[in-house]
Structure 1
Amino acid sequence: MTTPAPATESNSAPAGIAAWRILLRMLAGFFAMFSFAFWAAAGWNLGWTKTQIPMKQIDEVTGIEFVTYKDHFMPGVELFGPALFLCLVLFAITFIRRKKPAGRS
């Protein structure tokens, strides 16, 4: 009966995905969902970020319509887009492989 050879770097089974890769992928997904939820909850603004929104009102006496502005923060796509790009970069980092040192196969 032969005993199995001790596990060395050359004959060991390849390890699974590294824990830091899983962590970064989960972090990227969580940040993407959080960014979308924040953007959607604040107003789904497809344009630039607004700090005031126009409110149409009608004068009670004359019946003339006029516009007033209400302070309200609505994040635009210039905030949502870079947040998604950052998530994509964070996710892509996890696919970068280190070069093996010379002399190893």
Structure 2
Amino acid sequence: MAASTGSRPSPVRKFLRILAALVAIGIVGFWFAKDGRTGWSQDRVPVNQKDEITGIDYVTYEERFVPGIDTLGAGLGVAAALFVLSFFFRSKHPN
């Protein structure tokens, strides 16, 4: 059986790429789970309510974090940076 001539990836390179994938999947999952918006993040969400006696509609604000496209972009940026960083680690070739 012929030995493969390809080099094996460095363990650090493999770790960084797996970490980048986990960060990307994690941030997208977090964004969807928290009902992510396509606008900026919010930490106060408007809630429409109706007065029971007069029937007048009014707005109150609920303290809740809703991640926006900025949170998603930052998380994917970190994942991309980890992936690019993995290219700087190479396996040692025997001489």
SS in 2 for 1:67: strand
Tell me the C-alpha RMSD between the 2 structures.
1.7
TM-score (norm 1): 0.72
In structure 1, the gaps of 5 or more residues are: 1-12, 99-105
> Mean Cα displacement is larger for which, 55-64 or 22-31?
55-64
Runs (4+) of structure 1 exceeding 4 A deviation are none
Cα deviation for residue 41 of structure 1 reads 1.3
SS in 1 for 2:87: coil
TM-score (norm 2): 0.79
- Residue identity over aligned pairs, in percent, reads 35
Give, as a single letter, the amino acid of the residue that structure 1 aligns with 2:30: F
In structure 2, the gaps of 5 or more residues are: 91-95
**Structure 2 residue aligned with 1:60, among 49, 52, 72?**
52
Structure ranking higher in helix proportion: 2
Between the two proteins, the alignment pairs up a number of residues equal to 86
Q: Which residue of 2 aligns with 1:22?
A: 14
Q: Higher relative contact order at CA 8 Å, sep ≥6: structure 1 or structure 2? A: 2
